[in-house]
Amino acid sequence: MMALYQKQVRDIVELTEEGVAQIQQHKNSYSETTRPVASHERFWNAWSMGNLWVGIIVSIAVYQVASGLIVAGMTWYQALFTIVLGHTLVMAFAVILGHFGTKYGLNFPMLCKMAFGTRGVIVPTLVRGIIGCFWFGVQSWIGGQAVNAILSAIIPGWSSLEFTGFFISFLLFWALNVYIAGNGSRAVKALQDYSAPILIVLSFIVIGWALSAADWNLAVLMSDPSLHGKPDSNFWALFFPALSAMIAFDAGIAMSMPDFTRYCKSQKSQMLGQIISAPLTIGFISFVGICGTAGAAIVFQEAIWEPAILVSKFDNPLIVVIFSLFLMVAVLTTNVAGNLVPPVNVIATFFKKLTIKKASIIAAVLALFAQPWRVLATPESLIFDVLGFLGALLGPISGILVVSYLFAHRTEVDLVDIYREDGGKYAYTKGWNIPIFVILLISILFVLLGMIFPSFRIIYDNAFVIGSIGAGLIYYLYLLFAKQSAPTNAEVSGHPTSGH
C-alpha cells in the first residue's frame, strides 16, 4: 500500500494525494508546518548548506572554545587539531541524520517520532529545548559583556560596579532577545543574513591586530608563551575530554539537521555542503581565537579568551562602542533563531494556549537557571564540565537515532503512519518505544557515573563518544536479538509494526 501513498523522485520520497487523504482518515499531526517539503519546493544546494555551517560556526562561542583550550593547557597546534577533528567527526551524525530530512522532507521531531514513538517523541524534543535554553543563557551573557563594554565607555564609573554592572548589562541584552523572539522582526531576519560576513570581517581584523602586536611576524606571534600550554600539562589527559566536548559542542545542531536538510535538492547537496564547509570554517575561526589570545598576551600581558572583554581593554571609546555593537549584532542574530526559538516552539507545542510571547518569556526565564556567569567563569568550566554534561545527554540520543534510521528502519519511512496519532508503525507500546527508552536511560546513567564517582571520571570525560557508540551498539545488538528470537513476528516491541 505504501506505493500508492508515496512516490520517489530521484533522492526524494514524496506523499501522493492519496497519501494525504489516507492521513486525514486518522487522528494526525499533519499540518502546513509539519508536512513534507516537496521536491519542487527545494531550493538549497551544497553552497546553501555550506553557508548554514558558516553561520553556525562563525560565532563568539567557537572563538572562546579555541582560546579556552589553550588556557586549559594545550599548545595552539594541539588545540587546533583537537577542535577541527571533533567538529569533523560530528559531521557523521549531521550527514546521516540529514539524509532523513532530504529524503523525506521531514523535520527533527518527525525523526524522533520514528524512533521514540508517537508519545515518546516528547523526550528528545524536550532535551533539545532545554539545551536551547542553556545556550540562550550563555550567549546572552556574552552579548551582555558587549553591552557592559559600551556602558563602561560612555558612563563614568560604570566599570566600578563590577559584577553588578555585568549582570545589569546581561539582563538588558536578555530582555532585548526576549522582545524580538516574542514580537518578531524583519530586521533580525535581515541581520541574520549578514551576521556571518560581519564576524568574518571582524575575524580578519583580529588577525591583523594580533600580527601588528607581533611586529607583523607570524612566527613571533605563534611563539608567544601564551600559545604553548602549561609545561606540566598532559596532552592526552586533555585531548580525549576536549575531543568529546568538541563533538558535543555542535551535536545539538547535528542531531536536528533534518530541520535544514529537508530543503536540500539532493543528498549530494547536503553531504558535500556539510563535509567541506564545517571543518574549513572551524579551522579558520579557531585560528582567529588563537591569534586573539596571543595578541592579548602581548599587548595586555594577559591571555583573554572572551572577545567582549578583549574589546573593553582598548582606551579609545569609539573603538570599544563600534566593535561591541558588532559583537551584539553577531550574538543577537544567532541567539534568537538558533537558541531561543527551539525551546519556544517546544513550549508552545506542549502548552497550546500559550502565545509565542509568553512562551518566549518562559523559555528565557528558564535560561537564567543555567547561570551563564558561572559557566563562563573559566574555560575549563565551559569545555570540560558543561559540554561534558551535554555530551552525556546528546550522545545516547544521537547514537540511537542513527541506528534506528539506518538499521531498524533501513532508511525507509512510511509517510502516512509517521503522521498518525492513533496507531500505526510508530505507535510501538502505547506510543512509547520501550526498548529504546531502557537503553537511553541506562546509557545516560552509565555516563553520568563519572560525574559522581572520581574513579569513573574517564567515562564522563568522553561522554559523547561513549554515550553515542554505547547506546547505538546496544540498540543494534537488541535489534539482532529481536530478529533472531522472533523472525516472523512483525509486532516485536521496539521494531516497527506494519500496516495502516
Quickly list DSSP for 347-376.
HHHHSTTS-HHHHHHHHHHHHHTT-HHHHT
pLDDT at residue 383 tops 70:
no
Specify whether the CB–CB gap between 105 and 297 falls below 8 A. Answer: no
Among the residue ranges 52-66, 330-344, 483-497, the one predicted with the least confidence is: 483-497
CA 370 to centroid of chain Cα atoms: 16
The pLDDT tens digits for 184-199 are: 445 444 555 566 677 7
Among the residue ranges 226-240, 275-289, 435-449, 480-494, the one predicted with the least confidence is: 480-494
Would you say the C-alpha torsion 287, 288, 290, 295 has a positive or negative sign? positive
pLDDT at residue 492 tops 50:
no
pLDDT at residue 163 tops 70:
yes
**What would the grid cell of residue 52 be?**
548554514
Q: Which residues fall within 8 angstroms of residue 152, CB to CB, at 6 or more apart? A: 158, 159, 165, 312, 320
In 157-266, where does DSSP find H-type helix? 163-183, 186-213, 218-222, 235-249, 251-255, 258-261
H helix count then E strand count, the chain: 24, 2
**What is the pLDDT averaged over residues 492-496?**
53
The residues that bridge with 420 in the sheet, in sequence order, are 28
In 301-419, where does DSSP find H-type helix? 307-312, 317-335, 341-350, 356-368, 372-375, 379-380, 387-403
What is the per-residue pLDDT for 377?
Answer: 66
Architecture of domain 2-485: Orthogonal Bundle (1.10)
CA 103 to centroid of chain Cα atoms: 22
- Cα 196 to Cα 191: distance, rounded to the nearest angstrom: 9
pLDDT at residue 151 tops 90:
yes
The pLDDT tens digits for 249-297 are: 888 889 989 988 998 999 999 999 999 988 998 899 889 888 988 899 9
Give the DSSP letter of residue 38: P
What is the per-residue pLDDT for 412?
Answer: 95
What is the per-residue pLDDT for 53?
Answer: 84
Would you say the C-alpha torsion 80, 85, 88, 94 has a positive or negative sign? negative
What is the per-residue pLDDT for 486?
Answer: 67
Listed residue (381, 341, 290) closest to 132, CA to CA: 341
Give the DSSP letter of residue 429: B
What is the per-residue pLDDT for 192?
Answer: 54
Helix (H, G, I), strand (E, B) or coil at 481: helix
What is the per-residue pLDDT for 402?
Answer: 97
What is the per-residue pLDDT for 373?
Answer: 80
What is the per-residue pLDDT for 85?
Answer: 94
The pLDDT tens digits for 17-66 are: 999 999 999 998 888 778 899 998 888 899 888 888 877 787 777 777 77
The pLDDT tens digits for 190-243 are: 555 566 677 778 889 889 999 999 999 999 999 998 888 787 888 888 898 888
Helix (H, G, I), strand (E, B) or coil at 21: helix
- Cα 474 to Cα 477: distance, rounded to the nearest angstrom: 5
The pLDDT tens digits for 384-406 are: 667 778 888 999 999 999 999 99
What is the per-residue pLDDT for 233?
Answer: 82
The pLDDT tens digits for 403-423 are: 999 999 999 999 999 999 998
The pLDDT tens digits for 295-313 are: 999 999 887 877 778 888 8
Listed residue (443, 349, 334) closest to 398, CA to CA: 443
What is the per-residue pLDDT for 498?
Answer: 46
The pLDDT tens digits for 86-142 are: 999 999 999 999 999 999 999 888 999 999 999 999 999 888 888 888 888 888 888
